[in-house]
Amino acid sequence: ELQLVESGGGLVQPGGSLKLSCVTSGFTFRDYWMSWVRQAPGKTMEWIGDIKPDGSNTNYAPSMKNGFTISRDNAKSILFLQMSNVRSDYTATYYCVRDYGGYLDAWGQGASVTVSS
Amino acid sequence: DIVMTQSPSSLAVSAGETVTINCKSSQSLLSSGNQKNYLAWYQQKPGQSPKLLIYLASTRESGVPDRFIGSGSGTDFTLTITSVQAEDLADYYCQQHYNYPLTFGSGTKLEIK
């Protein structure tokens, strides 16, 4: 069974950092592009960026470039999202997503991040 | 960035009726190379993660009921749900996968009367 399980969410102060992890199983992780998508409460989805199967290249939405870093560990089938210098508008549910040619065919359950002092 | 505009923002229908959700992109999603439209539709039920319904404008994801129909080309797309069922209560989003950054529509909330 295909699974993507995010962890590492929680409460973080403005200006702080947080690293999310996504443990995957049920598919050959190293063969797929992977994305992170966030959804603020009551809002639509925002694509943050993606990472090539071998980890050699990443793409980010222009508005996300300065606050996020995506990486992966293919040996452990884990995707990461490093968030830095967070702001209140980073409050959202963050989804780990399998990216198949730009459409997103498998989603994790999401990790909730709240930025507040 | 390609801007995706969805309408309506919400609608309420009775079970058994047919629903149409519209999505318009700020530029064409049609590839001249392969004549494919790079548009996807997702369903997000309350408290759940989004689920892929349709990709390449009209290709149904495996396991998606055939009452979900995607159509359109260029800049104008439609998700049609025939014979709506109570379980179709959800938010629906379109997303372009033509180029970076991937962008989503604002969503359509479907309520069942």
Chain B nearest-CA distance from A104, in A, is 7
Q: What angle do CA A80, A82, A88 make, to 5 degrees?
A: 130
CA-nearest of A20, A95, A70 to B104 is A95
Residue A29 phi, psi (nearest 5):
-50, -45
pLDDT in tens, A51-95: 999 999 999 999 888 899 999 999 999 999 999 999 999 999 999
pLDDT in tens, A35-49: 999 999 999 999 999
pLDDT in tens, B32-41: 999 999 999 9
CA-nearest of A52, A49, A56 to A20 is A49
Residues of A in contact with B61 (CB under 8 A): 105
Contact B11, B17 (CB under 8 A): no
Asked if A104's CB is within 8 angstroms of B49's CB, the reply is no
Structure tokens at B68: 């979900």
Query: For residue A23, with 0-12 CB atoms within 10 Å meaning exposed, 13-18 middle and 19 or more buried, which class applies?
Result: middle
